[in-house]
Structure 1
Amino acid sequence: MKISVIGCGYLGAVHAAALASMGHDVVGIDTDPEKAGHLSRGFAPFFEPGLEDLLAEGRSTGRLVFSTEMDLVADADVHFLCVGTPQSKTSDTADLTYLEAATREVALRARAGAVVVGKSTVPVGTVERVRGWLGRTDLELAWNPEFLRQGTAVKDSLVPDRLVYGVEEGAGAEATVRALDEVYAPLLHAGVARIVCGFATAELIKSAANAYLATKLSYINAMAQLCDAAGADVTQLSAAMGLDPRIGQRYLAAGLGFGGGCLPKDIRSFRAQARELGVESVDAWMGLVDSVNVDQRGRVVGIAAELCGGSVAGRRVAVLGAAFKPDTDDIRDSPALDVSVQLAAAGAEVVVTDPKAIDNAWMRYPQLRFEPTAADAVEGAEVVLLLTEWAEYRALDPHQLALTVARPAIVDARNVLDADAWRAAGWDFRGLGTGDGVRSAGAVRAG
């Protein structure tokens, strides 16, 4: 099929490359000439494992093209809308400005009978607005939510858990489903589950899924606070809970909490939708989930202050990690950088390192200092914070690292290090909810 992908950020670039690898002729459109140029040359403008290999394959076969020229979409059979829907600057709701602009541009060029498919995460009811922006009755409309995770987005595209088609009941529904089945034929042939539902359900699925995952993360972080108060170990607690098949182990790891460009803004948008629909229980629930998640950041600042004798003012603090999660260079709503900024505001000299995210972070955070390696960052530090669980930080040698710090004190805010090994190497070691005597950390002032 001939397919256009409008918007080539994390979602669109990966989706376009994946569709080309399935044998379709794909044109990816983005308004940013630099981004489109990078992708055209086979270079990803962001770090995502496996993406550049997929881009190279599409480029070599000639099935994948990137451009800023919207006229190139005119002969496409299917148009995927993959533009960003960030949180509004003035409220918790999603900003649909980019989606409206992309929809109107497609409407000006799409041939009659083409299928316009939304993939962006949107509030329930958005499809009706999209229909109005299209302003045409000769185009079919569908909603096909994405379920990509940064760091595994390529795998999630090529081997997804499920495919969801949101379509409108009526004469055009069957043709729309057939078109999407043709798009995803290799995945359906491989046995990927397919769910066909109404628009409202399709719009809610991604937000509802993210809200549930956020709930699990905030729940276990709340349990970490309880474990610190009781002298229990949340890692053992979560391991025991996870053996119950009704609960499961995934997303049940206590730590610094979630960030990034999806979960935080999606649960706030979900909360705003609940308020608009008069569902107060979901509004209150999501508010608590968000609050627990943000509180974890302040707890880490408090623990760092405790290790520094009650105040971080004038102390050198090394931070391992700037990205919101490992295997990405995305720093949007990064818990690691939030903690770093709080420490700097309290008077600490904060030195941050990250394998991939430094280039994205250093110009945006002039109050922080950045170093390329962990060895450089920890030199002379009075406390070290592990805030993003990159594999190379999990593999650090505590004996070797102890030789370069001013004082061997570390906060493992992701609960991924071997506490016994670090203590045996002479480190004052603290985790979150692991019974390390940090019950007073929440009450300790940062400065």
Structure 2
Amino acid sequence: MNIASFIDYFIHPSRFGDLEELRRARLLVRACWLTSLFSNSYILFSYLFGYDKGVYLMIFNVVGFIVLAFFVKTKLPIVLLGNIYVFIGSFAVIFLTHFSGGMWSAIYPWIISIPVLALLVVNRSAAIFWGVISFSAMVIYGVLAVEGYELPVEYNPEFKTLWFLSVVPGLLLIILFISFVFEHTQTKALNSLAENNAQLQEQKEMIEMQSEHLSKLVEEKDYIIRVLSHDLRSPLKNISSLVSLMEVEKDETMSHEYSKMILDASSSAQHLVNRVLEMDASSQNHVELQHEEFDVNEFLEELILGVEESANSKNIKIVYENKAPKARVNADETYFALIFENLLSNAIKFSEKGKEVKVQTTVDNENLQVRVIDQGPGVAKEEQDKLFQKFSKLSARPTGGESSTGLGLSLVKRYAELIEAKVWYEDRSGYGAVFVVEFKPISN
């Protein structure tokens, strides 16, 4: 059994639930055992110097301190037990001082230790109480000495020098012992507190990280919903337009054609939902792309046909310039289409009625570039660094009252990265906007 286990044996289990109570209990048990051991040496000194009362009182001290240690195992308040501890010591010191010469006794300075022990072992209030008692005792012995009243000296006077040499340094030793015990207990308590604070700090940081992670997840889920709502508008609008045409057009052949187009649009919408959810499930890192080889010019021409109705509603003409014949790429058609649907939608949205939107394919340094050029207000220079950020809304506003979520260009950026393409903005200084998408074509 180590010392810590030995000390804890004397402590009632209920005290372990309160750190301050436990600290005080441990300190009191240590003080009881140390002072009882220390008092044993003074039994021997008292016997050698012929001080019978000293022998009896030191035996009282030894037994009293040992018994008191066992009372810490009960539920008695530590403050009460601590004061009993101080009482046992103070009674012996004051009594022995009286029968060894009073103020001229070697034990007289020991009265100073009484409030010191009360402060270390009990608390400040106890130190004040026992300080008053100690001060009163010292004053009384001083007054008796001034008045010339001689108190009895019951030890052998022949050993007076040895008596002082043995007793007075002991005062320093016992205060040092108790102080070291107090310091050790206090340091251990502070270290334990520091460890608990460190654990709390770690838990706080973990909670903050989890909160931040949760916020990101919530933001990302919200983003996915916005993506779906943004990119589903086009196929749903196409379906709505086709249904309207079917109600007007009574030709059975055309109705069959419209039904096929509605089926294609709904299939496209379903495919889009699946791909966006797939992108979310894979945390946008390892999206499983479906690469296909196709002709960019043919693909863009079909895509332009799909947005012509929206352009016609604002009397906007879409011009396609093919300066890169036989341009073929190997890419995911869904994301390829979404890139240009968003760019064309933005071009139409921010162009005034009667303007022109141009789609142009060129080859630059063996790379295929597709430009979407409009005649709108363009993007202010101070806002160009916000172009591809999520939910960024710039000063330019749609010209026909259309809604704008601030998602379109951020999606273009993401989709371009997914299919290993580059996208950027070319400034035309207030003469419209130019967005460029660059691909690696398939070598002929």
- Give the shorter-chain TM-score range: under 0.3
Report the TM-score when normalising by structure 2: 0.20
* Higher-Rg member (1/2): 2
Report the TM-score when normalising by structure 1: 0.20
Larger RCO, structures 1/2 (Cα 8 Å, 6+ apart): 1
